[in-house]
A = this chain, B = another copy of it.
């Protein structure tokens, strides 16, 4: 048995790394309906601080997934929007959403059972 060719491909690891933090996927998903301002994003997402939102958006910008620009003419502030590349991520992320609805409860149940067992030890 040798190294997995798929996992050896650095692009695959890159994709996994994109999701390997708490907020990237969440923020991309929160932008799926179109441009949004930071305050709006924070309301949508819930539980994310201004600082962490900014950091996440910078990361996504650097990866070419999100664009920052001045808000629509006549409105103050800025807007963030998914790039074309960023929008291609919506499909796989959505697949996880579907998975969550179908199997999230099972994971939660397993986790609680494991914790009970842990507590009984």
Residues in chain A within 8 A of chain B (CB atoms)? 1-4, 6-22, 25-26, 29-30, 40, 43-46, 61-65, 85, 88-89, 91-92, 95-111, 113-115
- Please give the count of copies of this chain that the complex contains: 2
Q: Tell me which residues across on chain B come within 8 A of A44, comparing CB atoms.
A: 1-4, 7
Q: A1-B44, A20-B22 are in contact. List 9 more A-B contacts (CB 8 A).
A: A2-B43, A2-B44, A3-B46, A7-B26, A14-B104, A64-B113, A85-B107, A85-B110, A92-B95
List 6 tightest A-B contacts by C-beta distance, closest first.
A64-B110, A11-B104, A15-B100, A62-B114, A92-B95, A4-B44
* Complex CA–CA separation, A11 to B40 (angstroms): 22
